[in-house]
Amino acid sequence: MTVLPNAAVDRRTVLLAGLSAGAGAVAAAALPSAAAAADAVFQHGIASGDPLPGGILLWTRVTPTPESTPASGLGPQVEVTWQVATDAGFGAVVRSGTVTTGPDRDHTVKIDVDGLSPATTYWYRFGLAGTWSPTGRTMTAPAAADAVARLRAGVVSCANWEAGWFSAYRHLAERGDLNLVIHLGDYLYEYGTGEFDAGGKVVRRTAPEHETLTLADYRTRHALYKTDPDLKALHASVPWIITWDDHEVANDMWSGGAENHTPGAEGDFAARVAAARQAYAEWMPVRLAADGHIYRRLRYGDLFELSMLDLRTYRSEQADGADVDDPDRTIAGAGQLSWLTDGLVGSTAIWKLVGNPVMISRLDVLTLPAWLLGPLGELIGVPQNGVVINADQWDGYNADRERLVDTLRAHRTKDVVFLTGDIHTSWANELTTKDTGPANPAAAEFVVPSVTSDNINDYLGTAAGGPLSLLAASLIRATNPHVRWVETDGHGYGVLEVTRSRCRMDWYHLADRTRKDTTVKWVQGWSVGRGSSKIRKESAPA
C-alpha cells in the first residue's frame, strides 16, 4: 500500500537551500546578500500545483530590473532557469530547463514538468542571472491504481486582503503534515479600499486602491496578494489545487454579468472577464485547458478523485421565486454537469470528492427572523422578504441539483463528499432533496470558513461567539435538520483527512484575524464513513 510522503520539513532548509548555485552548501557569510538578491528578483514567491503521478506545475514571477514591476509593461525579456531535484541541496537534479518570460505575460513563469515518479517528494527552484529563488517543496500524486492509505489536505476559501492577515495560511504551513492545499475560490477580492473590510475597519490597504477592472488592475491585485509572507510560505511548502469563484472577477458573477459590475460606467463585462482570466492564468499555479476552462479532475491512487468545479462561467443569472425550479436555468452548464455526474458515477476511486465553490445543501430561511436575514443575506444573497431560496448558491438552481442527486441515487453512487467555501462560515451538512428525505442523504458536505472575509458577527457588530450568533446557529439548525453543525463567526481553515474507511474534516478558527500573531484553535470535527452519507461528530484529534 502506498504511503504518501510526510510533509514535515526543516523550515530553514526550505528557505535557504535554494540559494546555492551549485550542489554544495551555502557559506554562512554569503547568506544575507544571497537572500537579499533572491528577495529582490523573486518578490512574489514560488508555487506548485495540480499534482499528477508523473508531473507537477511550477510557478514564479521574476523582477529582472527595478522598473519591471507588476502590470507596468516594462522590463526586458529574460531567460529563467528551473530545476527539480530529489534533495533540498539539488545534488540530484532530475529535471531542468529554461523558459523565456517578459512584460507580455507580466514576467510570470509557469512550467508543466513531466517525467517525474509517482508519490514522490521533490524540491524545486528558479534561477535568473546567477540568483536562485528560495526552494519549494512539492509532491507528485500516486499512480492511479496505487492503494493509498491516507492523505491530509488544508482546505481554504475567501481571503480578503483588507479584512485581516493571512494567518490561516501561516498556521497551515507550520503544521508539517499536509500533502496538499485545496483552495475553493475567492483567492482574492476585486473591491476598492474600504468597500469590503473587517466590519468597517481597513486592516491593510489594497492595491490598486480602486476596484479592479482592467488587466493592469487584476495583475496588480494578484501581485499584492503574493507579497504576503504567510501566503508565500504555504505555496512553497505543498502543492495547491485551486478553482475560482466570483471575486476573482466581480461579486455574484454569472455568465453574462455580475452584481458588482455596472455596464457602461465600468466598461464591457466580457472585456473585464477576459482581463481577469488572463491575469489569473498568468499568476496562479493552476493547469487550465486549452480553451481556458478550469474545471478538472485529479486522482490520488485508488483513494480519491477530486473534481474541481467552476460555478461562475456557465451559470444563468441569479433569480428568485419560482424561476429557481426552471429546468432551463443552470449553475454548472450542461457540459460541466454531465462531466461531473459521469465522473462521479464512473469513478473507481474509494472517495469521490468535489471542490464546490458555493454551498449545495438546502438552506430553508423562511422562518428565520429579520435580524438574522439581514446579515445572512449579506453573506449569501437571501432576499429580505424571507424567501426560502438563496439565489446565488445551488438553492437558486434546483434543476441542476436535482439532476445531480437523482443521477447519484439512480446509480447507487456512494462516498461522495462536497468540499465547499464561499459562505465565510463553518458547516457540516448532509445533502438532501425533496426526494431523499433527511434519513437518506445523497452525499456529505463540509463547508470551511473564510480566511478573513466578514461573517455573521461582523455584520451584526457583535463579539464572536455571542448570544446572537449562538441563537442564529440554533435557528438555522432547527429549520434545517440536514445541517448537523454550523458556526457563524469563526475565520480560519479546515483540515481534511482521507483514509480508506472515512473522510474527516476538522475546523480551526483564529483568535483574531486582524492580528499578525493570532493563535488558532480546533473547534469541531465531523466525518463520514465509507458506504454511508450520514455524518458524525468527532472528538479533537490526538
CATH code, 15: 2.60.40.380
Q: What is the mean pLDDT of residues 476-495?
A: 94
Whether residues 448 and 334 share a domain: the answer is yes
| Spatial CA neighbour of 71 closest among 224, 274, 282, 215 | 215
Q: What is the mean pLDDT of residues 530-539?
A: 96
Whether residues 129 and 174 share a domain: the answer is no
Q: What is the CATH number of the domain that holds 396?
A: 3.60.21.70
418 pLDDT exceeds 80? yes
pLDDT score recorded for residue 278: 98
Q: What is the mean pLDDT of residues 57-67?
A: 98
Whether residues 115 and 31 share a domain: the answer is yes
Among 32-41, 405-414, 420-429, the minimum mean pLDDT is found in 32-41
**Residue 248 belongs to some domain of the structure:** yes
Among 168-177, 304-313, 434-443, 457-466, the minimum mean pLDDT is found in 434-443
**Residue 5 belongs to some domain of the structure:** no
Give the integer Cα–Cα distance in Å for 85 and 60: 17
DSSP string, 518-531: --EEEEEEEEEETT
pLDDT score recorded for residue 17: 30
| Spatial CA neighbour of 524 closest among 494, 499, 503, 501 | 494
Would you give the DSSP letter of residue 111? E
Whether residues 101 and 188 share a domain: the answer is no
Give 9's pLDDT tier (boundaries 50, 70, 90). Answer: very low
Instruction: Please state, in angstroms and as integers, the Cα–Cα distance from residue 389 to each residue in 59, 368, 396, 438, following that order.
Output: 40, 12, 6, 18
HEC secondary structure over 310-348: CCCCCCCCCCCHHHHHCCCCCCCCHHHHHHHHHHHHHCC
What tens digit of pLDDT does each residue of 185-238 get? 999 999 999 999 999 999 999 999 999 999 999 999 999 999 999 999 999 999
Give 26's pLDDT tier (boundaries 50, 70, 90). Answer: very low
Please calculate the CA angle 504-508-511 and round it to the nearest 5 degrees: 170
**Residue 330 belongs to some domain of the structure:** yes
pLDDT score recorded for residue 14: 29
Whether residues 182 and 135 share a domain: the answer is no
Say if strands 150-156 and 492-499 run parallel, antiparallel, or are unpaired.
Answer: antiparallel
Q: Tell me if 425 sits within 8 A of 356, measured CB to CB.
A: no
Amino acid residing at 414: K
Whether residues 196 and 322 share a domain: the answer is yes
Whether residues 202 and 262 share a domain: the answer is yes
Q: What is the mean pLDDT of residues 501-523?
A: 98
Whether residues 103 and 178 share a domain: the answer is no
What is the number of structural domains in the chain?
Answer: 2
Q: Which H or E run includes 508?
A: strand 502-510
Whether residues 185 and 227 share a domain: the answer is yes
Whether residues 486 and 510 share a domain: the answer is yes
Q: How far is CA 481 from the centre of its chain?
A: 28
Domain end, chosen from 116, 139, 162, is at 139
Q: Compute the CA torsion angle 275, 279, 285, 290 (nearest 10 deg).
A: 40
Whether residues 268 and 348 share a domain: the answer is yes
**Residue 414 belongs to some domain of the structure:** yes
Q: Tell me if 397 sits within 8 A of 357, measured CB to CB.
A: no
pLDDT score recorded for residue 6: 56
Instruction: Please state, in angstroms and as integers, the Cα–Cα distance from residue 332 to each residue in 157, 290, 344, 402, following that order.
Output: 19, 19, 15, 13
Give the integer Cα–Cα distance in Å for 20 and 7: 23
Would you give the DSSP letter of residue 394? G
Residue 11: Cβ within 10 Å count: 13
Give 403's pLDDT tier (boundaries 50, 70, 90). Answer: very high
What tens digit of pLDDT does each residue of 231-247 get? 999 999 999 999 999 99
Beta bridge partners of 2: 148
**Residue 21 belongs to some domain of the structure:** yes
273 pLDDT exceeds 60? yes
525 pLDDT exceeds 90? yes
**Residue 412 belongs to some domain of the structure:** yes
pTM for the whole structure: 0.92
Cite the beta strand spans of 23-161 per DSSP E. 46-52, 55-61, 78-85, 93-101, 108-113, 121-128, 131-132, 136-139, 150-156
Question: Given the C-alpha cell 514560488, which residue does it identify?
Answer: 46
Domain end, chosen from 85, 107, 139, is at 139
Terminal C-alpha separation, the chain: 24
Whether residues 392 and 519 share a domain: the answer is yes
**Residue 6 belongs to some domain of the structure:** no
pLDDT score recorded for residue 542: 85
Domain end, chosen from 73, 104, 139, is at 139
User: Which residue range forms the structural domain that includes residue 161?
Assistant: 151-538
For 115-125, b/e burial (b = at least 16 CB within 10 A) is: ebebbbbbbbb
Q: How far is CA 350 from the centre of its chain?
A: 23
pLDDT score recorded for residue 324: 84
Peptide bond preceding 51 in cis form (omega within 30 of 0):
no
pLDDT score recorded for residue 459: 82
Integer-rounded Cα Rg, in Å, for the chain is: 23
What tens digit of pLDDT does each residue of 374-402 get? 666 666 554 333 344 578 999 999 899 99
How much is the mean pLDDT over the chain?
90
What tens digit of pLDDT does each residue of 102-157 get? 999 999 999 999 999 999 999 999 999 999 999 999 999 999 999 999 999 999 99
Q: Which H or E run includes 484?
A: strand 483-487
Q: Tell me if 443 sits within 8 A of 533, measured CB to CB.
A: yes
What tens digit of pLDDT does each residue of 277-292 get? 999 999 999 999 999 9
Give the integer Cα–Cα distance in Å for 197 and 200: 6
- Would you call 82 helix, strand, or coil by DSSP? strand
What tens digit of pLDDT does each residue of 341-383 get? 999 999 999 999 999 999 999 887 655 555 455 666 666 554 3
Give the integer Cα–Cα distance in Å for 373 and 383: 8
**Residue 342 belongs to some domain of the structure:** yes
Return the biggest CA–CA distance within the chain.
71
pLDDT score recorded for residue 23: 28
